[in-house]
Amino acid sequence: MNNNLLDINKVKTFLVSKMLWRWNYLGVATESLNNSDVLGIRRTLYAAEFEIKLTRSDLLNEVNIILNIIKSKTIFGCHGSNTKVTKHGTYLGYWEFDRHLKEFIPNEFNFLVPIEFEDIKTKLENSPYGLYTINIKNNNYGINQILRPKKLHKNKINNEYLPKFFRKLSTENQMLREKLYIND
């Protein structure tokens, strides 16, 4: 399959649909808390983040940041995007913000990649992160779990972040309605 056939918006739409109707998530939003590509809240109030990577170089850059943080047990000296370094440093427990600044940490973090990138599994096996692949056949998208994520923590989404999440859902819904019904 040619990766150019995968459109980020179509992948997000398919993943959101799968999470809502097949995996029974309570709610799902794109570009939500922490600018996650897709963030879903399960009926148990656990949050799952999905990062979609459609190019191998983008995927490897982020995976190498993760592996460097795990290996050195710190974010200091880790090369890469400061945003990704602090995000994964926080998620993995090797970077803590000032106690007055809080960062949302999902219960699990997953990558969703084209099926051709399945070999990245070997690099992620010693991390708590999950790996899913996406494949397109006859205009249908298929998603398969390759590596099951481990819990980053066991706390349910709290009263501070739940309203922000539902606000994002409402905003997304309204913007779509405006595109469909007002800006035609």
- Reported pTM: 0.89
Q: Which of 58, 126, 44, 117 is nearest to 92 (CA)?
A: 126
Query: Residue 101 pLDDT more than 60?
Result: no
Q: Which alpha helices (DSSP H) does 47-183 contain, by range? A: 56-72, 82-91, 121-124, 161-177
Residues 6+ apart with CB under 8 A from 74: 89, 94, 95
Report the C-alpha gap between 50 and 112 in whole angstroms: 7
For the chain, what percent of residues have pLDDT higher than 70? 92
Residues 30-66 have pLDDT tens digits of 988 888 999 999 999 999 999 999 999 999 999 999 9
